[in-house]
């Protein structure tokens, strides 16, 4: 399994545009050895040619341009991104779905709860249908022990893990989140059997794995 870390900062990035704390200011001033960081996102692949982006941050355009493996294409247009997974409906993890519109249609994987949020209170998926049909949404069952597969990366298996955390601020379920509003992922390379566990953000595991 190949993992490309596209961004590693919390929401808002580093430095955050309106933050004048010592750390953010020192990066702006060039008086710190700390480096600017974009908002959290990774991409995974089983062959280095076909990639799945996990969480589409507001910085995704910059992240793709900085990652030659993802930007690679043989024709005039295109990329190596074959699918996107979003682990919740938070703005930090889904705004990149708007930025990717030039590359639609794309496969999208998320829970039923997240798909509902992204079609109602924050209707990105409905809006994007106007770009070549938008996202082909596949909802994943968090109860399924078999996880799911993505055809473009056939040697990776994805297992959703329910996390305890709030729903997004705009959600009617903000303070009474449902299972499926937040997931982590266990990703298994089926050729070597090695798992990778990922959780972006501060959500807690609702049980031990």
Interface with Zn ion in residues 23-52 (CB under 5 A): 24
Query: Residue 7 or 184: which CB sits closer to Zn ion?
Result: 7
Query: Residue 24 or 60: which CB sits closer to Zn ion?
Result: 24
Spatial distance between the Cα atoms of 58 and 83, rounded to a whole number of angstroms: 17
Spatial distance between the Cα atoms of 58 and 68, rounded to a whole number of angstroms: 19
The token pair that represents 190 in the structure block = 């089926």
21 interacts with Zn ion by CB under 5 A: yes
The Cα-based distances of 80 to 64, 70, 85, 163, 175 in angstroms read: 10, 5, 15, 30, 38
Q: Which range in 19-27, 100-108, 139-147, 172-180 contacts Zn ion by CB under 5 A?
A: 19-27
Least distance to Zn ion, CB of residue 89, Å:
25
Q: Which range in 13-21, 92-100, 132-140, 180-188 contacts Zn ion by CB under 5 A?
A: 13-21
Query: Residue 24 or 97: which CB sits closer to Zn ion?
Result: 24
Burial zone of 69 (CB within 10 Å; 0-12 exposed, 13-18 middle, 19+ buried): middle
18 interacts with Zn ion by CB under 5 A: no
Q: Which range in 18-26, 56-64, 90-98, 184-192 contacts Zn ion by CB under 5 A?
A: 18-26
Burial zone of 55 (CB within 10 Å; 0-12 exposed, 13-18 middle, 19+ buried): buried
Query: Residue 39 or 171: which CB sits closer to Zn ion?
Result: 39
19 interacts with Zn ion by CB under 5 A: yes
Q: Which residues contact 150 (CB under 8 A, 6 or more apart)?
A: 52, 82, 83, 107, 109, 156, 158
Binding site for Zn ion (CB under 5 A): 19, 21, 24
């Amino acid at each position: 399994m190949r993992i490309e870390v596209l961004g590693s900062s919390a929401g808002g990035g580093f430095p955050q545009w309106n933050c004048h704390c010592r750390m953010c200011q020192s990066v702006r001033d060039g008086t710190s050895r700390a480096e600017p960081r974009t908002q959290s996102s990774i991409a995974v692949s089983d062959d280095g040619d076909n990639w799945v982006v996990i969480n589409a941050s507001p910085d995704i355009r910059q992240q793709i341009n900085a990652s030659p493996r993802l930007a690679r294409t043989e024709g005039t247009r295109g990329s190596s991104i074959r699918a996107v997974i979003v682990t919740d409906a938070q703005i930090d993890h889904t705004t990149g779905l708007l930025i990717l519109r030039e590359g639609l249609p794309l496969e999208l994987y998320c829970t039923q709860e997240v798909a509902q949020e992204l079609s109602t209170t924050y209707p990105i998926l409905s809006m994007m249908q106007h770009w070549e049909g938008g996202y082909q949404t596949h909802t994943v069952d968090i109860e399924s022990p078999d996880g799911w597969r993505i055809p473009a990366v056939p040697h990776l298996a994805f297992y959703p893990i329910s996390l305890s955390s709030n729903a997004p601020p705009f959600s009617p379920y903000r303070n009474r989140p449902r299972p499926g509003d937040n997931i982590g992922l266990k990703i298994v390379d089926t050729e070597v059997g090695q798992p990778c566990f990922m959780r972006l953000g501060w959500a807690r595991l609702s049980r031990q794995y």
